[in-house]
C-alpha cells in the first residue's frame, strides 16, 4: 500500500496571494480617495458649531446695543419731564422709575437705578448739589456737595438737572465644548444734563 504524498506549500503561491491582497487594498484606497460621498456632512459638522457661535454672539451683541440705546433714551426722557416743572416732589421723582421702565420696553428693566440731581452753578462756575434723590428714596449727594460737570455746561449763574440711570444687562455667551453657557453682566450707565424750561431753577419740595 503506497503512502500519500505529503503536500508541500509553494512559497511562490503565498507571495502571489499576498500580492493580490495588497493590490485589492490599493484599489480600495484609491476608490475611497476619489469618492466625494459624505463630504457635505463632514463639512457641515465642522462648520456648524462656528456658525452657531457667531449667530448667538451677534444676536446677543445687537440686543445689548439696543438696551444701551434704550437706557440713554430713558435718561433723556426723565430729564426732559422734570425740567418742564418749576418744582417737583419725591412722589414725582418716584414716578420717573415707571417712566424709565416704560421707555425700556420691550427689554427687561427690573433693577434699574435712577438718580436725579438739581445742580446749581454759582458766578464762579462752581457746581454744587441743590437737592438729589435716588430710587430707594435716599439722598445720593449731600446738599451743597461739589459736582463735576463737563466744561461746556459749567456756565456761571445757571441751573441743571442731571439724571443718572444704571442697569445691569445679562449677556449670554455660548462656546462649543462647554457643558454650561456663561452669563456675563454688563454694567451700563447713562448720564444726561438738561436745563430747566421755566424760571431759574427746578426745586424739590421734600428731597
pLDDT digits (tens, 9 = 90+) for 17-52: 556 566 767 677 666 666 566 667 777 778 877 777
In a domain, 166, yes or no: yes
In a domain, 196, yes or no: yes
In a domain, 8, yes or no: no
In a domain, 137, yes or no: yes
For the chain, how many structural domains are there in total? 1
Percent of residues in the chain assigned helix, strand, coil, to nearest 5: 40, 25, 35
Could you count the other beta carbons within 10 Å of the beta carbon of residue 139? Answer: 15
96/165 Cα distance (integer angstroms): 11
pTM of the model: 0.70
In a domain, 106, yes or no: yes
In a domain, 24, yes or no: no
Contact 117, 140 (CB under 8 A): yes
Entry field: residues in the chain = 207
| Domain limits for position 176 | 45-204
Share of the chain above pLDDT 70, in %: 77
In a domain, 19, yes or no: no
> What's the average model confidence in pLDDT over 77-89?
95
Strand partners, 159: 120
pLDDT of 171 strictly over 90? no
User: How high is the pLDDT of residue 174?
Assistant: 55
Could you count the other beta carbons within 10 Å of the beta carbon of residue 121? Answer: 19
* DSSP-assigned letter for residue 206: -
Which strand (E) or helix (H) includes residue 31? Answer: helix 11-34
pLDDT of 2 strictly over 80? no
In a domain, 140, yes or no: yes
Amino acid at each position: 500500500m503506497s503512502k500519500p504524498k505529503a503536500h508541500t506549500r509553494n512559497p511562490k503561491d503565498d507571495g502571489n496571494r499576498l500580492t493580490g491582497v495588497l493590490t485589492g487594498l490599493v484599489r480600495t484606497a484609491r476608490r475611497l480617495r476619489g469618492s466625494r460621498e459624505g463630504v457635505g456632512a463632514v463639512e457641515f459638522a465642522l462648520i456648524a458649531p462656528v456658525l452657531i457661535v457667531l449667530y448667538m454672539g451677534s444676536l446677543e451683541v445687537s440686543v445689548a446695543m439696543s438696551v444701551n440705546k434704550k437706557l440713554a433714551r430713558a435718561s433723556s426722557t426723565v430729564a426732559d419731564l422734570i425740567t418742564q416743572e418749576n418744582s417737583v416732589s419725591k412722589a414725582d421723582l418716584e414716578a420717573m422709575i415707571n417712566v424709565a421702565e416704560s421707555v425700556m420696553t420691550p427689554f427687561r428693566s427690573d433693577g434699574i437705578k435712577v438718580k436725579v440731581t438739581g445742580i446749581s452753578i454759582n458766578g464762579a462756575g462752581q457746581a454744587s448739589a441743590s437737592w438729589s434723590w435716588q430710587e430707594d428714596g435716599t439722598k445720593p449727594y449731600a446738599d451743597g456737595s461739589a459736582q463735576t460737570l463737563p466744561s461746556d455746561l459749567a456756565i456761571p449763574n445757571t441751573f441743571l438737572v442731571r439724571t443718572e440711570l444704571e442697569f445691569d444687562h445679562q449677556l449670554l455667551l455660548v462656546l462649543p465644548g462647554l457643558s454650561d453657557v456663561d452669563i456675563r453682566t454688563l454694567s451700563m450707565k447713562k448720564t444726561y444734563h438738561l436745563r430747566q424750561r421755566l424760571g431759574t431753577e427746578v426745586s424739590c419740595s421734600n428731597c
